[in-house]
Structure 1
């Protein structure tokens, strides 16, 4: 049993290395098996479908991202400061691990109802990160005295889950559009320099946080 568990983890390790170094398009069962030093049919013993293996690989990405989130908020006091740290860690991770980042959120291709598995679904790794953002948004409002955003009628402010979803969407969009050099084109900035987070990216993240949470001094 221990040997089987070790082989299962080795297959995931190989897949993680492949997606980080060569992108998600490289994640074929045969290639993973070849690099793991096993027969091309061996992965089927542990992963009934290709999607099940991809989900296990993506789950490693969520574990890595979650650990980074814990590290950046460890010495951060206010909820706004924690959200700021999480936002920058999220975009930095996306630019550093583009292949893994793209794979992690493709629930439509991974463990949907079309690809049943007896293991926890990938979406169960996604939701805790989202719930963390929702909780911090709610705490931000409390710390600011639940003050209505300028220009918004009292009682009409969107709920914390809606704000968190919009914030997440904006950060995800920044990461993807920057990786594709689309934002650089729009802003007249130089093409991206690998995984380096530029001054422009920092400014974009600040603008997103201010748009959804209000300026820090507000």
Structure 2
């Protein structure tokens, strides 16, 4: 395929695979230039196609971003299910999903940032994205219910505990992606240098995962608040 003038590289795509080629090219641009550096024109150039080609699949930059986010949530959920299936006990299953979340963020920081906070997409305008994101959260709620039934967590509204769980795990993932927890490696007697993103996630998760469970003990054992 002839290279388009002014581009660093082109990526040939197979017939019928234009959509994926555009998504991959957009992720490359997001990784290098951030959200504000992404345009459909740049995406087309990176993919090695005409400037009008993206409009066959995406009506706007926002639609392309929505698809990248949807893919991220789908991949996260599938990874979570895979890790969860390795365990039988409720607490271990919940922790497996938590690690899948942190590991996915470490390995896919560009997707993670787009999925959470770098855009102002209205989910109502992208029902597939909304549905996929809700599926990811509902899996967490199901795991919380399992923990409640196993007396690992206190009773009550599982969505409240799921929100607390998500806040803890998401915060950890976000800080890891932004390299704000590098100092944790020294506390663990390890050095970050040379570790893969997955290994970095594992070191961090192993040092903090038990807090997730111990902070949500059965209601009868939970500390009573003062009057």
Which of 63, 88, 101 pairs up with 2:99? 88
Counterpart of 1:12 (choices 14, 18, 23) is 23
Q: Structure 1, residues 60-100: CA drift from partner, whole Å, max 9, x if none?
A: 11222122112112231122111011101110111111111
Hey, what's the Cα distance between the residues in 2 that align with 1:70 and 1:170? 20
- 1:42 aligns with 53
TM score, norm. by length of structure 2: 0.73
TM-score (norm 1): 0.76
Deviations 1:32-84 (A, max 9, x none): 11122112232123211111011111211122212211211223112211101
1:7 CA displacement: 2.1
Match of 2:164 in 1: 166
Q: Which runs of 4+ in 1 moved over 6 A?
A: none
Residue equivalent to 2:225:
none
Question: Which runs of structure 2 are paired with 1:91-106 in the superposition (5 Å)?
Answer: 91-106=102-117
Instruction: Give the SS at the match of 1:183.
Output: coil
Unaligned runs of 5+ in 2: 1-13, 223-227
Closer/same/farther in 2, CA of residues 17 and 64 from structure 1, 3 Å limit: farther
Structure 1 residue 133 corresponds to structure 2 residue 140: yes
Mapping of 1:8-157 within 5 angstroms? 8-19=19-30, 22=32, 24-25=34-35, 27-106=38-117, 109-113=120-124, 116=125, 120-144=127-151, 148=154
The CA deviation at 1:198 is 5.2
> Matches of 2:213 and 2:100 in 1, distance apart?
14
Inter-partner Cα distance in structure 2 for 1:49 and 1:191: 43
Equivalenced residues, count: 199
Q: Specify the alignment match of 1:178 in structure 2.
A: 176
Q: Alpha carbons of 1:4 and 1:111: their partners in 2 closer, same or farther (altered >3 Å)?
A: farther
Give the match's secondary structure for 2:216: helix
SS in 2 for 1:122: helix
- RMSD across aligned positions (CA): 3.1
Shift of 1:107: 8.3
Query: Displacement of 1:108 after TM fit?
Result: 5.2
Find the aligned partners of 1:69 and 1:55 in 2 and give their Cα distance.
21
